[in-house]
Chain A
């Protein structure tokens, strides 16, 4: 079973990260990733660039409103994700508890990654997506 571990944090929590030595972050995250690789469970992982360089498209109105950076109305930001191949949700939770993160407003959300096999296979768009996965080797 594949689970996505999504790093979430409040903007204040992210701001506090600015004070942490970057090499230290690389090392602690590196150790955590290394442990998951050694255990044979890590399938994919990506980190997101600074939220201040992001853009938010808000569909509350038509046409949608585009704002630079999520600061202001957003309380929580995504920082990155891991995808783990584990035997159970509990195991994904255990790995998340080991992530080198601590502090108020910092969270990891754990969500099962649905497989394309769970969708109606006769659907034309599912078939198109499958063809793309076949060509490009996506998860």
Chain B
């Protein structure tokens, strides 16, 4: 072949190469700098400055042999510059600057660090990255800010990449991150692992952010779909990272299982023309079997380390029922019903109750499920959503109550905000005759 001997230098030196290094290293660099300086906000600034410098010098001079050491050295040097400027005002900064100055990091030239291994404290680095996740998902921050900050400092995505994934302008993402950092600084949030009793609630906050990133990626039906599937994969990767750092937490494994098992269905979820495919109509041969295997392993791990599954684990168990069933009819619906009953107790909500009713209709027929749906409707639950009338219409149609079914489905069509889903509902309506 003609091009065979031509080395593709661009792959090793371009902006994309710098971004690839950054994706791998950013969490450890921000985490390590945050521990050095005791200041998360400053550490994030320093890390971004080091990244910006790499974007300028690496494409010109080549990627250094030890890119992480290089970035950390630049970050530390900038830290010292910052501290020197503030040293006259702050005794603590002066002491830090002296400490950090040891080992030549203060010299103007950034070359290869003498022994980059010493820059990492292997016993601390996992804790630093974990602390980073906790602070990025801090409950003081809005959900949008948590998501943006997590993707940037833990995931190593650029503001541009985050903006593209969420279909918002880059300036919006930058503003969210700036504001989040100001909030954390104003509230004097310490860079540390949350203490014992606080840990569980703070972990729940991290898990919900990862789940939110995933659903943002997986619910996309717009033209930019491929980018957003990347977002779902990034959520899975970050959850895997968390599972390694917090192996004793059942819900971390539960969430990982849920994400893997849900993502396993991605290849079958959208037709070539972009139309969504409902679970019952999906070609199950297209499901990603390796993802199912990984998801089931994570679910087993959740069961092993916990005393019973949590809410994510139970949802993963539902997903597992689907994943192992050859068809809708051969699904263990009785088990799905039990799992939804458990979920109704763990996290009661009208959506969960509605799903429970659907499972019940599959296990024992529409007549068993309709009273539950009517009860929800009578309570005024989900009143603005198409979900309830569409389930109700489906059940009524299966019971042969065609006129009532038509009214319910018409109501669902009126309420449905998504074009493609509305199309599915219209087809159901037409099928009533």
Most buried by A among B16, B20, B230: B20
Q: Among A90, A133, A139, which residue has its beta carbon within 8 angstroms of that of B20?
A: A90
Q: Which residues of A contact B230 (CB under 8 A)?
A: 87
B126 at interface by CB-CB < 8 Å: yes
Cβ–Cβ contact B241 & A94, under 8 A: no
- Which residue in chain A gives the minimum CB-CB distance to B125? A38
Q: Among A90, A133, A136, which residue has its beta carbon within 8 angstroms of that of B17?
A: A90
Within 8 A of A (CB), among B260-294: 267, 284-287, 289-290, 292-293
Q: Which residues of A contact B16 (CB under 8 A)?
A: 88, 90
B24 at interface by CB-CB < 8 Å: yes
Cβ–Cβ contact B289 & A41, under 8 A: no
A130 to chain B, nearest CB (A): 5
Q: Which residues of A contact B24 (CB under 8 A)?
A: 39, 91, 94-95
Cα distance A93–B7 in the bound complex, in angstroms: 13
Cα distance A32–B428 in the bound complex, in angstroms: 54
- Which residue in chain A gives the minimum CB-CB distance to B267? A117
- Which residue in chain B gives the minimum CB-CB distance to A44? B290
Cβ–Cβ contact A138 & B20, under 8 A: no
Cβ–Cβ contact B237 & A90, under 8 A: no
Cβ–Cβ contact B244 & A38, under 8 A: yes
Cβ–Cβ contact A43 & B290, under 8 A: yes
Cβ–Cβ contact B12 & A93, under 8 A: yes
B9 to chain A, nearest CB (A): 11
B236 at interface by CB-CB < 8 Å: yes
Cβ–Cβ contact A90 & B290, under 8 A: no
Cβ–Cβ contact A93 & B285, under 8 A: no
Using known A-B contacts A87-B23, A131-B285, determine if residue A40 contacts B240 with beta carbons closer than 8 Å.
yes
Chain A, residues 27-41, CB within 8 Å of chain B (1/0): the string is 000000000011111
Q: Among B14, B19, B237, B289, which residue has its beta carbon within 8 angstroms of that of A134?
A: B289
Q: Which residues of B contact A138 (CB under 8 A)?
A: 289-290
Cβ–Cβ contact A139 & B290, under 8 A: yes
Most buried by B among A87, A137, A139: A87
Q: Which residues of B contact A111 (CB under 8 A)?
A: none
Range for the number of chain A residues in contact with chain B: 20 to 34
- Which residue in chain B gives the minimum CB-CB distance to A110? B11
Q: Count contacts on B: residues with CB < 8 A to the other chain.
A: 32
A85 to chain B, nearest CB (A): 7
Cβ–Cβ contact A94 & B20, under 8 A: yes
Interface of B is mostly: helix
A12 to chain B, nearest CB (A): 21
Chain A, residues 50-81, CB within 8 Å of chain B (1/0): the string is 00000000000000000000000000000000
A112 at interface by CB-CB < 8 Å: no
Using known A-B contacts A38-B241, A38-B244, A41-B237, determine if residue A93 contacts B20 with beta carbons closer than 8 Å.
yes
Cβ–Cβ contact B286 & A117, under 8 A: yes
B45 at interface by CB-CB < 8 Å: no
Q: Which residues of B contact A37 (CB under 8 A)?
A: 244
Using known A-B contacts A90-B11, A93-B20, A94-B24, determine if residue A40 contacts B238 with beta carbons closer than 8 Å.
yes
Q: Among A41, A43, A130, A139, which residue has its beta carbon within 8 angstroms of that of B285?
A: A130
Cβ–Cβ contact A93 & B11, under 8 A: yes
B225 at interface by CB-CB < 8 Å: no
Chain B, residues 10-28, CB within 8 Å of chain A (1/0): the string is 0110101101110110000
Cα distance A88–B245 in the bound complex, in angstroms: 24
Cα distance A8–B20 in the bound complex, in angstroms: 23
A114 to chain B, nearest CB (A): 14
Cα distance A98–B90 in the bound complex, in angstroms: 40
B398 to chain A, nearest CB (A): 29
Cα distance A89–B11 in the bound complex, in angstroms: 8
Cβ–Cβ contact B234 & A87, under 8 A: yes
Cα distance A39–B24 in the bound complex, in angstroms: 7
Cβ–Cβ contact A94 & B289, under 8 A: no
Cα distance A85–B67 in the bound complex, in angstroms: 21
Cβ–Cβ contact B237 & A40, under 8 A: yes
| 8 nearest CB pairs, A to B | A40-B240, A90-B20, A40-B237, A91-B20, A137-B289, A137-B293, A90-B16, A139-B290
10 contacts between A and B (CB under 8 A): A40-B238, A43-B290, A87-B230, A87-B233, A90-B16, A91-B24, A93-B17, A117-B286, A130-B286, A137-B289
